[in-house]
Each structure stands twice: as structure tokens, then as C-alpha cells.
Structure 1
Amino acid sequence: MPGDSLNVHLNTKATAQNTYDAIVVGSGISGGWAAKELCEKGLKTLVLERGRNVEHIKDYAGTEKNIWELTHHNNRTEEDKKNSPIQSKCYAYDEVSKKFFVNDIENPYNEVKKFWWIRGYHVGGRSLMWGRQSYRWSDLDFEANGKDGHGVDWPIRYKDLAPWYSYVEKFAGINGNKDGLPQLPDGEFLPAMEMNCLEKHVAASLKQNYSDRVMIMGRSANHTKQVGDRGPCQYRNKCHQGCPFGGYFSSNSATLPAAKATGNLTLRPHSIVLDVLYDKDKKRATGVRILDAETMKTEEYYAKIVFLNASTLGTAHILLHSVSDVFPNGFGNSSNQVGHNLMDHHYGVGAHGDYDGFEDSYYYGRRPNGIYIPRFRNINEKTKRSDYVRGFGYQGGASRGRGNGEDGIGVELKASLTEPGKWGMGIAAWGEHLPYYENKVTLNKEKKDKWGLPILDIDCEFKENEKIMRKDMMDSAAEMLEKAGIKNVKTFDSDPPPGFCIHEMGTARMGKDAKTSVLNGNNQMHDVKNVFITDGACMASSACQNPSLTYMALTARAADFAVNELKKGNL
């Protein structure tokens, strides 16, 4: 039973060998940052990853090949769809990158309501396949819960995180422009990528036709200049397959090598964390218990501080599985909030069309970034909506297809296909998902995975506020394109379920009150002072911007706090 190991451990020889200053669970975006910061601050740090090892460059086989050199021309096979019916739906899943996604059959979960959980179990986690869009949040986001009463008020504000955004941006390498927007603060940027001619045309149209909205170049973690020994980006747009040039930020290319360089890092793959160990007399965590995914043997590791960075749902599973007489409902769960308030962005809605003109213009390479239209709803009284709260932003871009292939046959047909086709432009919206207590995950003890662990029941949905917002997301997209002279504009709404945006958040939220939240303003558990959670689980709301940059900043900030508290003897 999980609770059997939650006791005081004798300091035997084996215990000494398995003792570190810090343990980090997970090696993705936030886990990699925790490892880097703790190691650089002098802590002997153990990073536990449930999946296999992936070495930068060495394990990116296939990304050097052209589509025609691949057996299935980079397409998903019927076997892929059978083994991974959920993962294979992801835009980043292809013949080369599929090795970075789990096999759905081997990694089951139970959809109480439809939920597409996209994940990769390996060193680096989803930092290898992420979309790289990197935006700061503002006080519009951190103050929202307190102002409109949804969820609990954030215990921090933008000023608390601003210096940490700057800190992580300089190391991560984010390209972008200084756009001077209060709802989307500027950062420490590498030179921005460039809009193409049609995107510039639509941006000018927005400026001319609207006083409340603007189109900017996307801010992404692709390196437009070399960052240390990483990059620059080669404009291949194969990021999700792993980049041998180190042209974008990932744990594998950036934070884990930095941690390793200190000599303080121990990385242990194939280590499934079962539960957090707890000393009820000292009211502190003593470490974690793992199951070796290959040998099926359990082992215990000990440390003064523990960082949980196993992903929003992975961290929730560990907490819910760590039960004892002190925490019968899950580790650090006196608030009964663990597993609740699950959020994801709702997207897959927008508009696209084509454009007559710019036939003499093209663009360089395959830019792995697009345009961004920041939130313009419910910013102030002037932009306030009466039918829904919060807001959305758009991502998208313009490109040229190839010739229509209607000219002749044989040589003539092939020649026509080499000619550029018409210009087209599309934009799609990312909307905020409110934190609802009833959107939750729980352990299903009737169904077990291949390691004998209970699977997750995921009970999550988009509700009325999101559904009303979606109509505005779609209609506004069409209106903006039409005003810019885009022809044959068609709207779309694929209505994907939660999970598919891959921005899960909220199962161990931050808050001011220990009765209604799991973590304080330093990402420290209210109930257990030496345990920190800085992955998506910590989020008290979802905003509408991509969240990974905020995870990075929160992690660096929490690591700094944790080490200072450790030095003071408070942990």
C-alpha cells in the first residue's frame, strides 16, 4: 500500500547512498528549469523521469531526412492510429516525431467526459515537441480571479514575476518585438522573425480599421541568434522532431546540460514516482518512492526539498496516490483542492481565406512561428462584453500553396505543380478556460495500468462561458480577414475537447488561503513546507496566452526561494 512507506526512515547505508539535497520529479520544461536552478545554487539534485533517456542530437534520428526519404512520407499509419488513437491526432505527431509520444494502449486513462491527453514520457518531456509560443502574462490575468470571482485570487501579481520572466527569457532565448501592449508585456527578446507581405498587409488593415486590436509577430523560443552553443534556427519547421542545431529551447538542449555542467546533477530515467514520503513528526517530506519501469522494483530516495514537475495530471496522480493517516485524501490535500480546477485552453476555431495579389512575392524558408493578435476583449470598460468574461488571442499566418495542377498532363502537370499557388491567410483563436471546481481528476482504483497503478479518471468540460466566447472568436476572425480584403473567407470550429490544446493547468493551485488552495505565493505547499510544485498544476487561472514561459519564471523564482529558506534552516 502507498501509505506503508510513509514513515520515518532509518539512516542506513542504503539511505545515505540514496540521499540528495533536492529531488526534482519530471524533466520537462519546468523540471528542467528546477534542475538547472537547484544545481547551479550548489544542491546535489536528483532528477527522476518516468520515461526513457533522450540525448540531445543523438536521439533525433529521422529529422535530417526529406519527406520522400521516409517510408510513409511522414504520414501517420493505420497502426499509429490504432496504437495511439489520441496522440496521433496531435499536429506535432508524424512519422519521425511519434517516438516522443506515448502509446495510448499502454498508457490508459478514463474519459468521464471527452478529454484528449497528449503526452510524452522521456527525458525532456513535451519540451521537445512544444509549440514554443512564449508570452508573458499581465495583471489583467493575475487579477482576473479576484475581480470577477471565478476561482481564487492569485497570491502574486505581475511585479512579482516580471524580474523572473526577464531572467528566464535571457537564457531560454525568445524572439520578438517590443510592442508596448499593457495586456502583453514586452520581454528580453532576440531579434524578431519577420512577417511576410500578406501578413504585413493584414496587420496594416487592423491598425487602420480598429482602435482596440493589433497584429504582432509571434514571440517564440526559436533562436534567431545563437544562444550560448544553441542555434541559430535554420527555418526548417521540424522543431517537434528534435533539433540537431539546438535552434529552439528544450530541456535537452538547454537546462539539463546547464545542470549537468555543475557536477551536481544525477538523472535517473525509467523512474515512476509512486508517492511522496512524509515524516509526520517533523511535518516534512523526506523524499519519494519510485517504481523502476524496467525492473518493476521499488526504491526510495531522500532529500531536503522536493520539486514536483511531473505535468499537471502527472503531479495530481502522485499527490492523490500519496495517502496516509495524515493525508487520507492525498498528499498536502487538507484543502480538498488537489485534482480539481482542471483547465485547458479552448481552441480550434477561427477563419481562413485567400488573397488576390502579391503574385511576385514569396518568403524565405519554413518559418517555425506565426503572427499573434493579442487579447482585445474585456481589457477595460470600453472593451467589456456583457455575454462572457475573460478573452482570447489569435495565432495564424499567411502562405502560398503550390500550383493547382490543372495544366496538362505529364511534364506539363509536374511543371505546374512547381509554381507557387495563391496566397492564403488563416487565424485561429485560443480562449481562456475558467477554473471550475467540478473539472477534476481522481484515481480509478478499479482499473490499473501495466505497472499496476490506478489510472486517472478525467472529468473535464468547457462550459457556457467558453461556448459563448467561441462564437465571438469565430465571427471576429472572419470580420478581420474580410476587412483586410481576404476573399472566400470560411469559418471553422473543430470543437476539440479539453486536453487537446496541451495546456493543462490547475490541479494543485496557488492561493492565499490554505483552506482553498494547495500552494502559497512561492509555489510551496501550504501543508508541507519543503515540497514545491511549479508545473501547470500550480496555476490558479489559465489566461489565454501559452503558459510555458510562466512555468519557467515560476520555477526559477520558487527555486530561489527554496534554497534561501533551506539556508535559513526553515525547511
Structure 2
Amino acid sequence: MLQVIARDKQDFDVIVVGSGCTGGWAAKELCEAGLKVAVVEAGSTVSESEFTEHLQPYDYKYREVSNPSSPEMERMRPMQSLTSGCKEGNYKWFVNDIENPYEVEKGKPFRWIRVRKVGGRSLTWGRQSYRMGNLDLKAASRDGYGIDWPIEYKDLIPYYQKVERYIGVSGLPEGLEQLPDSEFLPPMGFTCGETRFRERVKGKMGRVATIGRTAIITRDHNGRPACHYCGPCNHGCITYSYYSSPFTTLKAAEATGNLTLIPDAPVSHVVMDKRTGRASGIAYVDAQTREIKELRSKVVMLCASTLESTRILLNSAPGGLANSSGALGHYLMDHIFQGGASGEMDDLPAKPWNGPPRRPNGMYIPRFRNIDRTHTNGFIRGYGFQGGSSPQFDMGASGFGKQYKEAVHKNARWRTSFGAWCECLPRYENRVEINPEKKDAWGIPTLKIHMAWGDNEYKLWNDAREQAAEMLEATGHKNVHMTGAPSAPGFCIHEVGTARMSASPKQGVLNQYAQAWDVKNLFVTDGAAYVSIACQNPTLSMMAITGRACDYIQDGLKKGELA
């Protein structure tokens, strides 16, 4: 453990580690309640001058044509550049892999994609925002695998509502138990192909295909203008039309006068008061001076992202802090994806359509497997599809000028494609541990990750491919092809678990309020708290869990139970 050599003279009510979706929401909620909050972020500040969403490929030296698209990306960010979201225009937001190493077990790859800036992955996230319901939260009671969440859907409803009303989530209500409706802004429009698919798959198979539910506003909302469909969103948004913490929640927190933002400050560990058995603050490394400093507070909240929060806990005590259950570091999950199919519509002319060519959204097919008590094809849980339908022009056609333009349109086809996000079961052997011999550029011990897909994940993935092909064929598509290999763990960038909530201190690290069973003034409200992953994108639920914890913290401080 790093030794502190300087202590900040100011004490805070709450220290929030991390400034992304959950850290930003915690800062807003706590600062607006009148609490003095320090947000500690490993990365540097971000400004609008770094946004490149309006640049064209020809504006870039290497044209953003592939990943990695520059020698520097290939040299310094070989892991980060594997994701399509890391491009020549934004790659410096992602971690330098040389400075931030980690290890994996031989033969078990894990793609750990990280952003180190104020705002974290809220700068680059896919923005898909879905609620979980009791089908997800009480899955263990239904199929007998694992443990239930220590909360029910009704516990999260007011917190989902508060998050949605603030950030703005566009979408269509569908009235499905397996995918509870949010409080929506007007939905983005369907393309002609999507409308046709939606009508046909409902009529022929009884399945719902809806527009994606996304944290991008479609009308002016809370002082932010509506999306103008410029894309690509992961290069920043000059109008702040999608939720990103630096320009929404952190701004709101700053406006209260109660926020202290500390960037360039990788956190090493939680500092404990041996006399009381409670957290007294955190230790961090000043990334500029390499000085190890300490901040003190009444409450510590870890919102650093799943594996970074767990890394901090593992580095905070021998065997890990708040680990009487032995669950810390275990039950790591991600979504297995890249299972789906694509096909062509011959009966729909592939012509340019009247609509935004860069609509930052697609279609969503909610889970339809195992939504009652039956099990399908020998697997449990389920998956949801994301995709869409649009004209695909033959941009690689030969020719020049008029001849080329005619060839581009002549061979065009209307193509529909879908890929599934499949639930991963929580298994003890999927875990992380500290490698004390390997440290990052700031001297903090790093992680070794052990994770592999199991039989249930592969069965879900295979079934998803077959069902995607079946839906396309049933809706009149030709030349239907299923996708190839499944994604490696981590590559969906939905890693969750490793400090799970539980109804008993013997089963997990955190209670129903994401409060550590063993350390009463320590909370973990990012993806590390997850009990099971469901098949929905996790960020909206993380923010709801964070909001619930913030209410509990406010009440606990008023009663003197946490101070």
C-alpha cells in the first residue's frame, strides 16, 4: 500500500471517486442536498475544444479509416484501439495501455476498455438506456441459479424516474414486463426498412421491435438543445444533446458551490480509521508531481467503474477491504455479443431516404426467451437484439465520376442486421486479483483478470444467431447470413460484478443500499455492485442505484449514523 506523505487540510462530507455517469450523478445529488463533496478523478479535465464530431475523415492525418488509425494509437493504445469507439479523433481520452497495464490468465483474453478524463466513459458510451425489472432482479428465484438482488423493481422506480427526467431518454412505450417503460422524450424515427420489419415481425412472430431507448434528447430539455444528428457521438457533442457528466451533472453540482473537483488524481486505496473501523478518506497520487496525498471525509463513495473500484478495495487491505464474505473480486460478468444475422430486402428500393443519415440510434428487440417459467433449449436467462435497417450502397464500385455514381446506386441493397447482447451468469471463478509485482505508472498495483464464457453463454449466443436469421427470413429478407465468432469477455464494455450486493453479509460485499457490510460509511455504486447482469445495457440502472444510495447517505448523515 502506498504511504501518504501529505494530507489535505479540508475535510469533506463525501468523497466520490470517479466522475463518469455514476460519479457525476452522485455529485449532483449530494451537492444539491447541501453536502460538501470532493470528486476525485484519475484523468485530466475535458473541454469543448477537444470535441471532433464535426470533422470529416479528410480532416484527419490518417483519415480515421481503421483501428488503430495512427502509429501512436498502435504503439500506446493497442488494447483501447480494438474498440470501434476509439478513433483518431478521440483516442487520447482512452487510457495509455503502457502506463495502465493489466494481466489476464493464459488462454483467457479480456478486453478492458477504459477512458481517463473527467467524465470517464460518459464521453464515449453508447447511450442505450434500459430499465431492469423483477424478471432480472429476481432471476435466481425463477431459475434457481445464483442469488437474487436484495432490491425489487419498485425500489428503483423513483430513482429511474429522477434520472430519466434529468438526462432525457427518448423512446417508445411498449408495455412489456420484461422491459419496463421509462419516462420518455419523443422517439427517434424508424427507417422504411425498420418500419416494415417491425410490422412483419410483430404480425408473423408476435415479437416487438422498438426504437432504441437512448440518452439523447429529441427536443430541447433542461437547457440543452435537441440532437441535430451530426455524429459521431463518441467524439463529443458541442450541444450536450447526449448525457455526459462534465456538461450536465457536474455542472449542476458546481453551481451549488459545494463541489471540489480534483483531476489527475489516480486513487490508490481507501484510508481506514483503525479505532472506529470506518473509512476516514482516500489516498491518491498527484499525477503531475507523483506526490501521494490523502483526503478526509465522513463518507467514501466508489464510482470509479467496476474494475477500478474493486481494484481500490483490493489494494486497501490484505485480502481486500470489506471482504468478510470472500466475494470481493468474484462474479465478474460482461455481455457476450456479436451473435446475430443480416439480410437484404429485395422489395424495398435502396434509395437515399428523407431522414438523418447519422441517426445515433437503432432498433431494439426486447428479450423473448425465458420470460415465463419455462426454459428454452437447455439454457436459462435471455438476450436482447440491437441493430437496424438502412440502404447499403456499393461504395467500393469501380469507375469514376458519373459512371461511379451510377454503379454505387445500381448495386445498392436495403440491409437489415441485428446482434444480440446475451446475459452472462455470475460465476465465482470469473474473478480479478491484485498482482503486487506489476504496478502502473503511478506505482499502484494492478489487476490480473480471470474470465471465460461458460456453456450457458455459448448456448444463448448460438440461439440468438439462429433466432436472428429466423426473424429475417420470416420478414422477407434474402441472402441471410449469421455472424461468426463471439466477442471476447470485456469487449462489450459492460463489465459488472466483483463487489456484489446481497441480502446477507455472508453472500456479498454490499447491502441493498450499496453500502459495504463491513464498513458502514463506504459505498460502491457503479457496476461493481451488480448481482446479475441481465441483458440490458447497465448504465441507467447504475445511476438509479447511485441515486438510491445518495438518499440513504443524506439520511444517515442527518441521523449521525455515518459520521
TM range (shorter): over 0.9
How do 1:274-423 residues align onto structure 2 when only pairs under 5 Å count? Answer: 274-323=268-317, 328-359=318-349, 362-365=353-356, 366-381=358-373, 384-403=375-394, 406=397, 408-414=399-405, 416-417=407-408, 421-423=412-414
What does the per-residue CA deviation read over 1:14-59, in whole Å, with 9 as the maximum and x for residues that have no partner? 867231111000001111111111101101100000111113x233
Matched letter for residue 335 of structure 2: H
Aligned to 1:144: 139
1:196 and 2:191 aligned: yes
Partners of 2:461 and 2:486 within 8 A in 1 = no
Distance across 2 between alignment mates of 1:409 and 1:453: 56
Is structure 2 residue 100 aligned with structure 1 residue 88?
Answer: no
Shift of 1:418: 7.1
One-letter code aligned to 1:441: V
* Separation (CA, whole Å) in 2 of partners of 1:92 and 1:567: 43
Residue 26 (1) aligns with residue 21 (2): no
Tell me the CA shift for residue 355 of structure 1: 1.2
Tell me how far 1:282 sits from its aligned partner: 1.7
Cα distance in 2 for residues equivalent to 1:458 and 1:329? 16
Give the aligned partner of residue 228 of structure 1: 222
Alpha-carbon distance between aligned partners in 1 of 2:178 and 2:403, rounded to the nearest angstrom? 52
**TM-score (structure 2 length as normaliser):** 0.95
1:554 counterpart residue number: 545
Is contact 2:352–2:391 with CA below 8 Å preserved after alignment?
Answer: no
- Paired residues for 1:182-261 under 5 Å: 182-211=177-206, 213-261=207-255
Q: Distance in 1 between matches of 2:8 and 2:193?
A: 63
Whole-Å separation in 1 of the counterparts to 2:25 and 2:388 = 31
**Alignment check: 8 A CA contact 2:8 2:293 kept:** no
Note if contact 1:146-1:154 (Cα within 8 Å) is conserved in structure 2: no
CA distance in 2, matches of 1:407, 1:52: 46
Q: Secondary structure at the match of 1:451?
A: coil
Match of 1:77 in 2: 70
- Residue matched to 2:535: 544
Amino acid aligned to 1:97? N
| Greater mean deviation of Cα atoms: 513-522 or 64-73 | 64-73
Structure 2: 5+ residue runs without aligned partners? none
CA distance in 2, matches of 1:388, 1:129: 33
Letter in 1 for 2:250: L
1:517 aligns with 2:508: yes
Aligned pairs for 1:90-105 within 5 A: 90-105=83-98
Aligned residue identity for 2:104: E
Closer/same/farther in 2, CA of residues 194 and 127 from structure 1, 3 Å limit:
same
Give yes or no for contact 1:25–1:308 (8 Å, CA) kept in 2. Answer: yes
Verify the 8 A CA contact 1:53 1:122 in the aligned structure 2. yes
Aligned mates of 1:406, 1:67 — CA distance in 2: 20
2:266 corresponding residue in structure 1: 272
CA distance, structure 2, for counterparts of residue 470 and residue 372 of structure 1:
17
8 Å Cα contact 1:405-1:416 kept in structure 2 = no
Rounded to whole Å, the distance in 2 between the matches of 1:16 and 1:39 is 20
Q: Structure 1 residue 415: deviation in Å?
A: 5.3
Question: In the alignment, is residue 63 of structure 1 matched against residue 53 of structure 2?
Answer: yes
Letter in 1 for 2:466: D
8 Å CA contact retained: 1:534, 1:555: yes
- Tell me the amino acid that sits aligned with residue 296 of structure 2: Y
Tell me whether 1:157 sits opposite 2:152 in the alignment: yes
Tell me: CA distance 1:407–1:292, structure 2 relative to 1, closer, same or farther (3 Å).
closer
What SS does structure 1 have at the residue aligned with 2:110?
coil
In structure 2, relative to structure 1, the CA distance for the partners of 1:419 and 1:556 (3 Å cut) is: farther
The code of the aligned residue for 1:540 comes to: V
The one-letter code sitting in structure 1 at the alignment partner of 2:166 is F
Taking the aligned partners of 1:472 and 1:341, their CA distance within structure 2 comes to 24
- Contact 1:197-1:361 within 8 A present in 2 as well: no
Task: Say whether 1:41 aligns with 2:33.
Answer: yes
Counterpart amino acid of residue 26 in structure 1: G
CA distance in 2, matches of 1:120, 1:396: 25
The aligned runs of 1:456-535 (5 Å cut-off) are 456-535=447-526
Cα distance in 1 for partners of 2:144, 2:520 equals 28
Does the 8 Å CA contact 1:230/1:248 hold for their aligned counterparts?
no
Bigger Cα displacement from structure 2, 147-156 vs 404-413: 404-413
Q: 2:18, 2:338 → 1: CA distance? A: 29
Of 102-111 and 176-185, deviating more is 102-111
Q: Secondary structure at the match of 2:528?
A: helix
May I ask how many residue pairs the two structures share in their alignment? Answer: 555
Report the identity percentage.
Answer: 47
- Indicate the larger mover: 201-210 or 357-366: 357-366
Q: Give the structure-1-normalised TM-score.
A: 0.94
Query: Equivalents in 2 of 1:338, 1:298: separation in Å?
Result: 25
Q: Which moved more, 1:278-287 or 1:436-445?
A: 278-287
Deviations along 1:277-321, one digit per CA (max 9) or x if unpaired, are: 111322211101111111110111001111101111000110000
Q: Is the 8 A contact 2:53 2:232 kept in 1?
A: yes
The answer to whether the 8 Å contact 2:8/2:295 transfers is no
Corresponding residue number in structure 1 for 2:437 = 446
Equivalent position amino acid for 1:354 in 2: E
How large is the Cα RMSD of the aligned pairs?
A: 1.8
Secondary structure, counterpart of 1:171 in structure 2: helix
CA distance in structure 1 between the partners assigned to 2:216 and 2:411 by the alignment: 27
Matched, 1:121 2:112: no
Amino acid at match of 2:117: H
Partners of 1:364 and 1:43 lie apart in 2 by 46
Q: Which residue of 1 aligns with 2:104?
A: 111
Matched residue type, 2:211: M
Deviations 1:341-363 (A, max 9, x none): 00001001110111113325614
Map 1:174-189 to 2 at 5 A: 174-189=169-184
Tell me the secondary structure at the aligned position of residue 343 of structure 2. Answer: strand
How many Å separate the matches in 1 of 2:183 and 2:122?
A: 20
**Letter matched to residue 367 of structure 1:** R
